[in-house]
């Protein structure tokens, strides 16, 4: 009987391991240093062409902020062979979609086309990397657009400065202290030469990864990539030397006012390790435990049972140099921010002092796995995962191994990470208040 059970257990184990997801890919460098990753998947005649540049909000020129995000806009203005204003038209009239986004750590541009337009996608991305038009006219246009974006996303939007209020308090020296979108006075003061210099520094093949994913022929695609990207000149090696922070030793309290809100918010912020660390994955799991779904700990307690909060959310803002772990709550009725903070800390202290239940733990594993599986359900999603794995994590194959990291997490890890990083003595507490409460 015992033998039989062992045999079954072994079978189950093999089963679980054998079902691991496998994203196959080929990768190589061009002579100019451009790293290329090709993922062939002929399930659907769809192809995604994308370039991730190793440049983000943290990168400056002469101390000026907001450049990477600005370039996210500027690099749609046109190239030597793509007329100004035609970019989007070309994409849509060929049955595709496209967009771009910028974080503190990287910028990502992509197109998704029916696969017979693979060459078009490569041409467009190579045009963008090789010789975009950077002229005063385009800079002026995009400066207005970016200001509008800043107004609608931050200045005019309820709780729009929330992230910045925490970042400003959590970092003193590292560029993460400043907003990703930048300060408008920096962009206004930036010269055309500075834009050109920024482009020449960061938007070079040796500082980027090109990913082509979908219905492709690998050797044809290799050749096309060489044809379109091979003659783009290599740039200088990008060097960064950011000043790092000294560890926090006591709580930092700060108050921010927002004219777009009536209900205040409380935010607890914790400085956490880089997203390449296992502990960052553990923090993602802690977020699920605290606030994902109606059975999560903080939701059940503060929103459902005690009716003290309108809303509560915990999330791990994963970044390259430091992460930011945020717990955010809106009070309901007469509840004070202090009460909310006490109630939230009570649950975090349980994480530090007790192991979560086996059943909750298993549910977290299932959730993590579901999220992971679904993040790679389209070629566009896989393209971005491959680019991220290579450029930010330094290991393309992480796309296949990330789930193993989650699987390796134990209940003890959760307790350890909570103890190490989610401490009251190392937190930022932001009272995020309506402008009307500003003392006269």
Interacting residues with another protein (CB under 8 A): 15-16, 19-23, 41-46, 81-82, 90, 94-95, 114-120, 122-123, 126-127, 156-158, 215, 226-228, 230-231, 259-263, 310-311, 330, 359, 362-363, 366-367, 369-370, 373-374, 376-379
Q: How far is the CB of 342 from another protein (least distance, A)?
A: 22
Q: Which is nearer to another protein, 53 or 159 (CB)?
A: 159
Instruction: Report the distance separating Cα 229 and Cα 169, nearest Å.
Output: 43
Instruction: Report the distance separating Cα 325 and Cα 410, nearest Å.
Output: 20
Residues linked to residue 315 through DSSP beta bridges, in sequence order: 326
Q: How far is the CB of 270 from another protein (least distance, A)?
A: 26
36: which 2 tokens? 């290329």
How many Å from the N-terminal Cα to the C-terminal Cα in the chain?
Answer: 79
Q: How far is the CB of 279 from another protein (least distance, A)?
A: 24
CA angle 74, 79, 81 (to 5 degrees): 160
Q: Which is nearer to another protein, 311 or 349 (CB)?
A: 311
Do 304 and 293 meet the contact criterion of CB atoms below 8 Å apart? no
Instruction: Report the distance separating Cα 405 and Cα 292, nearest Å.
Output: 20
234: which 2 tokens? 């290599």
Q: How far is the CB of 32 from another protein (least distance, A)?
A: 11
Q: How far is the CB of 114 from another protein (least distance, A)?
A: 5
Do 151 and 218 meet the contact criterion of CB atoms below 8 Å apart? no
Q: How far is the CB of 265 from another protein (least distance, A)?
A: 11
| Nearest to 57, CA basis, from 151, 199, 175, 186 | 175
Instruction: Report the distance separating Cα 59 and Cα 418, nearest Å.
Output: 31
């Amino acid at each position: 009987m015992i033998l039989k059970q062992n045999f079954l257990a072994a079978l189950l184990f093999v089963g679980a391991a054998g079902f691991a997801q496998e994203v196959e890919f080929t990768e190589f460098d061009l002579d100019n240093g451009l790293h290329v990753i090709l993922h062939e998947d002929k399930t659907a005649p769809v192809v995604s062409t994308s370039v991730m540049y190793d440049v983000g909000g943290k990168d400056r020129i002469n101390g000026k902020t907001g450049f990477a995000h600005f370039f996210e806009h500027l690099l749609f203005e046109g190239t030597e062979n793509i007329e100004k204003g035609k970019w989007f038209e070309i994409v849509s009239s060929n049955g595709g979609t496209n967009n771009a986004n910028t974080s503190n750590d990287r910028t990502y541009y992509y197109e998704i086309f029916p696969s017979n337009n693979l060459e078009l996608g490569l041409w467009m991305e190579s045009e963008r990397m090789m010789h975009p038009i950077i002229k005063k006219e385009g800079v002026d246009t995009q400066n207005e657009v970016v200001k509008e974006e800043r107004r609608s996303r931050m200045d005019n939007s309820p709780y729009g400065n929330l992230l910045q209020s925490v970042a400003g308090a959590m970092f003193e020296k590292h560029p993460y202290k400043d907003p990703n979108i930048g300060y408008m006075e920096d962009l206004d003061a930036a010269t055309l030469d500075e834009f050109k210099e920024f482009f020449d520094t960061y938007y070079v093949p040796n500082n980027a990864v090109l990913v082509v994913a979908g219905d492709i022929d690998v050797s044809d695609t290799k050749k096309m990539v060489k044809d379109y990207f091979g003659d783009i000149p290599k740039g200088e090696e990008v060097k960064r030397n950011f000043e790092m922070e000294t560890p926090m030793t006591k709580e930092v309290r700060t108050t921010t006012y927002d004219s777009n809100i009536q209900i205040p918010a409380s935010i607890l912020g914790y400085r956490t390790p880089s997203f390449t660390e296992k502990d960052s994955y553990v923090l993602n799991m802690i977020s699920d435990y605290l606030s994902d779904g109606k059975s999560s700990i903080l939701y059940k307690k503060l929103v459902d049972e005690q009716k003290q909060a309108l809303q509560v959310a915990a999330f791990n803002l994963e970044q390259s140099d430091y992460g930011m772990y945020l717990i955010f709550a809106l009070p309901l009725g007469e509840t004070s921010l202090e009460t909310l903070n006490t109630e939230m800390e009570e649950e975090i202290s349980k994480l530090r002092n007790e192991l979560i239940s086996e059943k909750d733990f298993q549910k977290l594993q299932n959730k993590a796995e579901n999220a992971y599986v679904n993040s790679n359900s389209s070629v566009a999603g896989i393209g971005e995962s491959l680019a991220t794995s290579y450029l930010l994590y330094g290991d393309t194959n992480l796309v296949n191994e990330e789930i193993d990291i989650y699987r390796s997490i134990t209940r003890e890890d959760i307790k350890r990470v909570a103890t190490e990083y989610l401490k009251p003595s190392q937190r930022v507490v932001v009272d995020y208040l309506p402008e009307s409460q500003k003392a006269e």
